[in-house]
Amino acid sequence: MQKSMMIEFKKLIFIFLSFISFSNLLAHNYFFAFAEVEYIEDQSKIEATLVLTAHDFEEYLKKSRQLSSTLEFALTDSLETSLVCKNLTDHFSLKTQSSTTKDSLIEIDLKFEGYQLLLNGNIEFYFSANNVLSHNSFLMKFDLLMDYFPEQQNKVTFLHQTKKKTLEFLPNSRNQFIELNK
């Protein structure tokens, strides 16, 4: 009797552990993307790095029919690379005040510099922009993947001179101003 109870107990533990392992393989409950943006004022330059989970971004691109192969393969093709970058800059953008009209904002043209697929499953995308003149503030948009993953949260670390500021972007706060002198 004792031996059969022990066998049943081991089966229950095995089923329970299998269930937990299987459910962890299916999905994760949180989605994050990060960016680091540096404004190099004396060079009038912006450098930005976007970091996101490669399989989440690939899934989003496939489900929205913007990608037919793997992300890694797509980034070896110039046409598909430009489509991927267009998607990124549609959801990650910077604007600053126009030098002619203080009330209007102009979008900063971010140029794709490259990417790196990391061993931890993340992918980093590198962008830059030259001739960026700021009037002490930027409007930042960072709603990447928020329409696909409702739990998506994005974070930007903005560097300027010796100051560092962090902004959080949520589905209800996709755009935020960053003040340079505060």
User: Does 7 map to a domain?
Assistant: no
User: Does 16 map to a domain?
Assistant: no
User: Does 131 map to a domain?
Assistant: yes
User: Does 88 map to a domain?
Assistant: yes
| pLDDT over 50 (residue 138) | yes
User: Does 57 map to a domain?
Assistant: yes
pTM over the 0.85 mark: no
Residues in contact with 14: Cβ distance below 8 Å, sequence separation at least 6, in sequence order: none
Please give the Cα distance from 90 to 20 (Å, whole number): 37
User: Does 25 map to a domain?
Assistant: no
Each residue's pLDDT tens digit, 155-171: 999 999 889 999 999 99
The range of the structural domain enclosing residue 50 comes to 30-179
- Answer with the residue of higher pLDDT: 3 or 57: 57
Q: How many domains does the chain have?
A: 1
